[in-house]
Chain A
Amino acid sequence: MDSIRHWMLGPQGSAYANDVDVLYMFLVWLSVFFFALIVGMTVYFAWKYRRTKEGVLTPNISHNLALELLWSVVPLIIVMGIFFWGFNDYVRASVAPNDAIEIHVTAKKWLWTFEYADGTRTIGNLHVPVNRPVRLILTSEDVLHDFYIPSMRQKNDVIPGRFVELVFTPSVPGRHQVFCAEYCGKSHSDMMANLFVDSPEVYQKWLEEGDPELQTMPPVEVGKMVYENKGCNSCHSIDGSKNTGPSFKGLYGRVEKFTDGTSVTVDENYILESINNPQAKVVAGYEPVMPTFQGLLRTPEVRGIIAYIKELK
């Protein structure tokens, strides 16, 4: 029995997936019953009353109220039951518990980007801890997409100009497939992602150290990603123009004057200090408004941002 279920529906990733499968398999057996009834009656009547003689008259059986009621009312009761069953599961699965982890998902032809509460951003790989409810908040930057996790039996269209949510509680650790299920053009069928369900320890480690690719990416690119994704770009320009904070352009090696009259030549240690303790030295002409990023950036990310600033001559 379970092997039929597995063959038809593939692996389950959550308790909810099992709920859906129970209803699915109930419908399979119900359909098998009614299909057998249809085939049985059709074949039996067709063969038993096959024409053996031409030109015979047949009895005038025009209708039978009891029969008509039987095959109207019985199916009606059955489908009403199915309605409540399906709807009940759906509502239960759509409500996110209060302790759910919220992750923002952005779809764009043909990539999935994930953004965590601590500002971590990943592309194509979604990490979640096992047995914790997850609430994805999704939006699209271009056309319709659809975030589909077959093993969680969950999907939702991703719509530009609007947030939708998708809730699931993964219970099976490991890699799960994510598809785009709403047609979005040329690479629609390659718009996939990996959902990694991690043990709490592995998840914590991942949050701290990030994806392995962070280690292999050139530092300048890591820095550019951090600059764009962690909010540096809202105060620091890269073209020399003055913003809330000094521009990154030509910053490295420049002599900066501070509000207390001292000055320093910008080097790695100055940048590191400005990230961790921005109020220690405030450049003359700017307000002391920068928040500390202590603990929010991983070492390779700090190295990246320094390399990036060096690059902006």
Chain B
Amino acid sequence: MADTITATHISGHADHHDVDYLHDGKGMKSWLTTIDHKRIGVMYLWGILFMFFLGGVFAMLIRLELLTPKQTIMSAETYNKVFTLHGAIMVFLFIIPSVPAALANFVLPLMLGAKDVAFPRLNLFSWYIYMIGAFIAIAAMVTGGVDTGWTFYTPYSTTTDGSVALMTFAVFVLGFSSILTGVNFVATIHNLRAPGMGWFDMPLFCWGIYSTALIQVLATPVLAITLLLLLMERTFGIGIFDPKLGGDPVLFQHFFWFYSHPAVYIMILPGMAIISEIIPTFSQKTIFGYRAIAFSSVAIALVSFIVWGHHMFTSGQSQLASAIFSFITFFVAIPSGIKTFNWIVTMYKGSVAFNAPMLYALSFLLLFGIGGLTGIFLGAVSVDIHLHDTYFVVAHFHYVMMGSTVIAFLGGLHYWWPKMFGRMYNEPAAKVACALVFIGFNTTFLPQFILGSRGMPRRYYNYLPEFQFLHQLSTVGSWILGLGFLIMAGYLFASLRKKMDAPANPWHSRTLEWQTASPPITHNFHEIPTIGGGPYDYYRPVGKGREA
């Protein structure tokens, strides 16, 4: 453990009989009854990676179908179900839980110098809720499927056939998993920071997760209520959203986006949080503008609650409402811009290494740049009227959801993989996969901006012949993307089959999760760490970092 920095407390007492968390208890039962945040994080990881695979298969099918206008491989009804399932799986079963429930569950307590999260049993309970929700969702897929789009807009969703009720119930259940994880993280960050660790001594990852947790706790109940109302209308015919029953379909959109816009930040803030860790580590440099990044996370979380109407400029809402929502929406650009420039300037006079996690972080800066800048187009009302519900919007949110959040998630996965499993993966293969993902992603989604601005509406099974070339380019991109993920799955699984070889701190990071063994022991640290400095004190010699 030569690299250990807070070595005085930890390695000095290293007990060779202490086993790592992966080997502390054997068999299925020891995993299914564990209250160790690291094991729960790993169980979440397998769950969400499976869902990512499933959602990815649906994505490939969508792109394949769109290779030609009219039928290529499936009927219109099947296509409608496939794009619905792609969206619903990716949003509710993959992205929302991806960073918080899987990665943050693992590293957050370690970063804070804590033994576990504040409520370990609640943590396991939320994993079970997630699994139950996932099974209900799969049941909905195999018992008729859903063709409403992931947005469940009424009155289509209350009148169409299929397992809409079951699917909304699944999302309802999954929401509770999200709420409980959020509550757990808020309590953990408030109460379990190591002695001496003030709020501004926390790694910025914790600030990002904290902001995310606040949104999860405050916004998710609104989704739960909305879905419950939808279920009541669909199942019992109680008129809430359908004008035939005396309801208002636009009301559903207000309710839905009141959750789902903040949910966009449930997805992006944790991605930003990861980038705030990777860039200082691989630049060996103090993060530039710690407080600006921390407060901009909180600012984004707060503003996210009052911009939902920008999804509804064409919904028939009043012009005054559109004006107000457009105005506030532009304020989201400011904290996002602040973060971006702070990350870039952090590299200034640093010592930049280009390992796989850093390549993902650099990709993030470029892709989030495109995702953010194209958001400005959609915030301007007159331009949005033209672009709303076209492929421009599809491309924009994929640059944010996939180009930013998923890329950051992959960066985080590669960053903490040695810590989680005690093994290094094949670095050259990881670089090749990262490059393929980057190229494939851009080939898939850049053409979609042009498709959209030329007027190609989204959720189209059939399209005019003039759009075919750009659609085909996009489909070819999805194959490159798929190849990148295939290689990634290959070297990650291969790494699990070899002996543990990861050092405690392969990237020479100063944050606490790296100051314990890889993989960590069950109780994380042999003794509670005490903190005397910041998480990014790369200007001090190793060993004079964060000790008291």
Contacts and interface: CB of A to CB of B under 8 A. Distances in A.
Contact of A82 (B248, B380, B540): B380
Interface stretch (A153-161, A205-213, A219-227): A153-161
Contacts of B379: 79, 82-83, 86
Interface string B302-344: 0000000000001110010011001100110110011011101
Sorting the interface of chain B by its residue count into under 10, 10 to 19, 20 to 34 or 35 or more gives: 35 or more
A8 B395 CA distance: 14
A61 B349 contact: yes
B539 A185 contact: no
Given A20-B382, A90-B382, A161-B243, A83 B80 contact: no
B290 A63 contact: yes
A58 B286 contact: yes
B373 A31 contact: yes
A181 B349 contact: no
A297 interface: no
B322 A90 contact: yes
B347 A49 contact: yes
Q: Which of B350, B374, B454 has the most CB of A within 10 A?
A: B350
Interface string A57-71: 111111110011001
A87 interface: yes
Given A23-B382, A38-B369, A58-B539, A72 B319 contact: no
B77 A148 contact: no
A40 B76 CA distance: 45
A57 B340 CA distance: 24
Contacts of B374: 31
A76 B388 CA distance: 24
A86 B380 contact: yes
Contacts of B9: none
Contact of B326 (A31, A87, A144, A157): A87
Contacts of A60: 286, 537-539
Given A58-B284, A184-B156, A155 B386 contact: yes
A182 to B, nearest CB: 6
A17 to B, nearest CB: 8
B25 interface: no
B8 interface: no
B463 A143 contact: no
A63 B352 contact: no
A86 B381 contact: yes
Contacts of A289: none
B453 A8 contact: yes
A38 B347 CA distance: 13
A270 interface: no
Contact of B383 (A23, A80, A155): A23
A164 B338 CA distance: 40
Contacts of A180: 457
A35 interface: yes
A15 interface: no
A93 B382 contact: yes
A15 B184 CA distance: 56
Interface in A72-91: 72, 75-76, 79-80, 82-83, 85-91
A180 B314 CA distance: 13
B349 A59 contact: yes
Contact of A75 (B283, B292, B337, B352): B337
B36 interface: no
B366 interface: yes
Given A51-B351, A150-B386, A42 B539 contact: no
14 contacts: A10-B453, A27-B377, A39-B369, A50-B353, A51-B352, A60-B286, A67-B341, A68-B342, A71-B337, A87-B381, A87-B382, A143-B156, A159-B315, A189-B462
7 nearest A-B residue pairs (beta carbon):
A161-B243, A150-B455, A86-B380, A60-B539, A89-B382, A189-B460, A45-B347
